[in-house]
A and B are shown apart, each in its own frame.
Chain A
């Protein structure tokens, strides 16, 4: 298997594969973070998560179009504006969804699954009516499409580095928000015991709305980041939703650390297996392993020890 390669080749395989694994890790983590917040903290099974990502991707597309038309000189920087806009647009839409639909279903998690699935179908049709059924290409500034040459055989794609950077930023921000801020304390209090939290004077409705909005906003950022590597079409969100639930379920639904650990292990396993086997086989093997582990540890990799 390794016999055909020289030592130099193997070294570059190692470097480039680790980097490919790191990109995949960022992709998984970005996808799963928003879902983990909504599913883990609120118990809402949000089947429309993928569509909120695509909402972010279309926001980026519209943004790139506007910059190309009216401010071509600033085109090289539009992406950062787009990321922020994607967060805002997806976040506000998420809050609206929570207000109009989700808040009536908190005691019925299976119904959130059905309701949000319906929402995902509606959103897909909205995208199709607005942008057409075909894929749209998001044009990126040239400097983002280049690569950084470490040596003849090792090239690190710049867009990969940007995805990784965004992921670290978002993860850090969410960690600070949930575990270091007063608002985060309120969120965790509401999720652990709604009645008690409300009794001590926390406005639980507002906390719910902002938490759901945050989860959807992060999905929007993920979508914006994916325009660099993937496709934007009305149904593209569907491709990500299974992987995302896999990551969240594997990590243990209630902990941020679990989400990080599971994205890391799944992405590295897939990246390494992909090199020695092939794409389809790698996915199958990873899925089987995850199923096996979940049979032994139904609560996921990391589970909070709480009294029920």
Chain B
């Protein structure tokens, strides 16, 4: 009992200290100009009319928080807000706190373009973090090029693109696919592959690269089937029957979104046990498993650059901070982590450039290093993509992945792979 009382007193005392600290904090904007002599003047760091004041700098967040893509993009928004909050806590960028303006792309590509124009032309954002689908990125691309904006794009994607105005923080197709296939071919002695996907550009391009790799680089291996389903389709019984007859060594599934729920439930109901059959996916992250249900996908392999279960101090810190901000039940998938990198990479680049001017920030981007990112060491390539490792994770019933393989070296990003197109 006395112990408890002492604890209580300690708590009260620390709360009082905190309150004192907080009141001091409110003076910091005034004090900071005196205290940190190295904060450069606004005129010096902003020569192009961006939304930068003596205390703040404004950036944009542009994702779908309504419509069908909200499922996926909300995680990205949460990660970006967390990064911004952390940067502000640690003193901001060039002595300025980050202010953000959030716009909703509403899963509609023309809306994305319109909101991007607003963020750049009217709000004068110093950078924008956003987009998820390739369609939305393609829609905003001309806007960013026209207004010379800077976009940090977080999703793993099909490649075949490079823009001066975009930094791609997710993996492009070759980084994600090749290592995973090499691993399963060697480790499971796999010879036959069945490729599945949703019917749009990303799965088709990714499977094209997978097929080339299987046919040209994995000795004696072949693709025994390749099939596509409309987005949102929920009937997979026929293809599951085909898979059962063909008995491929590996099912390579790139189905996106809600269709995954139907696919894995039907797979399980049809008696295909993923602890015995090899299934590899590059489209299911911890986020999707929330809907699929861990018990339906346990045993499947996923290859990407990040899993929530990565066992490093930096990642544990990130996961704890994310859960503290967004709830104990929230999960972090590959794209969510890549979205978290955006604000941090931007901060590092701005500080290297010593200015918010977008052209100079872009010029300073190649070679930027973020050493303690959740995924590990991160560096921007001169083609504006990141070097990254590819990890293979095996899904557990609790919806997390056991990381069972990691490429020894960072893979060089190569958005225009020769021989794979």
**In the bound complex, do residue A133 and residue B74 qualify as a contact, i.e. CB atoms below 8 Å apart?**
yes
Stretch touching chain B among A84-92, A109-117, A229-237: A229-237
- A232 to chain B: which residues have CB within 8 Å? 261, 291
Report A200-232 CB contacts with B as 1/0, cut-off 8 Å: 000000000000000000000000001011111
Is there a chain A Cβ closer than 8 Å to B237's Cβ? yes
Q: For the complex, is B228 an interface residue (Cβ under 8 Å from A)?
A: yes
Cβ contact within 8 Å between A13 and B261:
no
Interface residues of A in 1-21 (CB under 8 A from B): 5, 9, 12-13, 16-17, 19-20
Q: Given A135-B261, A155-B271, A230-B262, do A275 and B238 touch, yes or no (CB 8 Å)?
A: yes
> How far, in Å, is B242 (CB) from chain A's closest CB?
7
B70 at the interface (CB under 8 A from A): yes
Assess the A24–B237 pair: CB atoms within 8 A. yes
Whether the pair B269, A145 counts as a contact (CB closer than 8 A) is yes
Q: In the docked arrangement, what's the CA distance between A134 and B67, Å? A: 11
Of residues 284 to 309 in B, which have CB atoms within 8 Å of A's CB atoms?
Answer: 287-288, 290-293, 295-296
Distance of A43 Cα from B97 Cα, bound (Å) = 59
Q: Give Cα A147–Cα B237 distance, bound, in whole angstroms.
A: 13
Minimal beta-carbon separation of A222 from chain B (angstroms): 12
Interface of B is mostly: helix
A159 touches B293 (CB 8 A): no
Residues of A within 8 A of B271 (CB): 146-147, 149, 155, 157
- In the complex, A136→B244 CA distance in Å? 28
Partner of B269, one of A27, A135, A149, A159: A159
Given contacts A16-B241, A134-B287, A236-B258, contact A280 B230 (CB under 8 A): yes
Taking CB atoms, residues of chain A closer than 8 Å to B235 are 20, 23-24, 27, 270, 274, 279
Task: Specify which of A23, A226, A238 is in contact with B237 (CB 8 Å cutoff).
Answer: A23
B259 — which chain A residues lie within 8 A by C-beta?
A: 231
Closest to A23 in B: B237
Query: Across the interface, do B71 and A239 meet the contact criterion of CB distance under 8 Å?
Result: no
Which of A27, A128, A146, A235 has most chain B Cβ within 10 Å? A235
Q: Are B245 and A229 in contact (CB under 8 A)?
A: no
Whether A157 contacts B266 by the Cβ 8 Å rule is: yes
Residue in chain B with minimal CB distance to A284: B230
Which B residues are CB-close (under 8 A) to A12? Answer: 245
**Residues in chain B near residue A137, CB distance under 8 A:** 261, 290-293
Q: How far is the CB of A75 from chain B (nearest CB, A)?
A: 13
Residue B191 interfacial (CB < 8 Å) = no
If A139-B293, A229-B265 touch, whether A128 touches B237 (CB-CB below 8 Å) is no
- The answer for the CA separation of A166 and B65 in the assembled complex, in Å, is 36
Task: Give the residue name and chain of the B residue nearest to A142 (CB).
Answer: B295
Interface flag for B324 (CB, 8 Å): no
Give the number of chain B interface residues (Cβ < 8 Å).
42
Instruction: Give CA–CA (A160, B270) in the complex, Å.
Output: 9
Q: Cβ of A181 < 8 Å from any Cβ of B?
A: no
- Give the contacting residue for B228; candidates A5, A226, A239, A278; CB below 8 A: A278
CB contacts (< 8 Å) of B296 on chain A: these are 145
Question: Taking the complex as formed, is B268 at the interface, i.e. its CB lies under 8 A from any CB of chain A?
Answer: yes
For residue B290, which residues in chain A have a CB less than 8 angstroms away from its CB?
A: 134-137
A23 cross-chain contacts in B, Cβ below 8 A? 235, 237
Query: B247's closest neighbor in chain A, by CB?
Result: A153
* Residues of chain B with a CB closer than 8 A to A244's CB: none
Q: In the assembly, what is the distance between CA of A20 and CA of B244, in Å?
A: 13
Nearest CB to that of B294 among chain A residues? A137
Chain A residues near B199 (CB, 8 Å)? Answer: 279-280
Q: In the assembly, what is the distance between CA of A23 and CA of B237, in Å?
A: 9
User: How many Å from the CB of B197 to the closest CB on chain A?
Assistant: 10
Chain A residue numbers with a CB within 8 Å of B65 are: 133
Residues of chain A contacted by B71 (CB below 8 angstroms):
133-135, 233
Bound-state CA distance A146–B70 (Å) is 32
Residues of B within 8 Å of A158, CB to CB, are 269
CB <8 Å contact, A155 and B270: yes
- Which partner residue on chain B sits nearest A134 by CB separation? B71
At the interface, yes or no: B14 with Cβ under 8 Å from chain A? no
> Is B269 a contact partner of A147 (Cβ separation < 8 A)?
yes
A275 partner, pick from B228, B234, B242, B260, beta carbons under 8 A: B242
Q: Are A20 and B70 in contact (CB under 8 A)?
A: no
A275: which B residues are within 8 A, CB to CB?
238, 241-242
B368-412 interface code vs A (CB 8 A; 1 in, 0 out): 000000000000000000000000000000000000000000000
Top 4 A-B pairs, shortest CB-CB distance: A135-B291, A231-B261, A20-B237, A157-B269
A-B contact pairs, 16 of them (CB 8 A): A16-B237, A17-B238, A135-B288, A137-B291, A147-B270, A157-B237, A157-B266, A157-B269, A158-B269, A229-B269, A230-B261, A239-B258, A278-B229, A279-B230, A279-B235, A279-B238
A residues near B, CB below 8 A?
5, 9, 12-13, 16-17, 19-20, 23-24, 27, 128, 133-139, 145-147, 149, 153, 155, 157-160, 226, 228-233, 235-236, 238-239, 270-271, 274-275, 278-280, 283
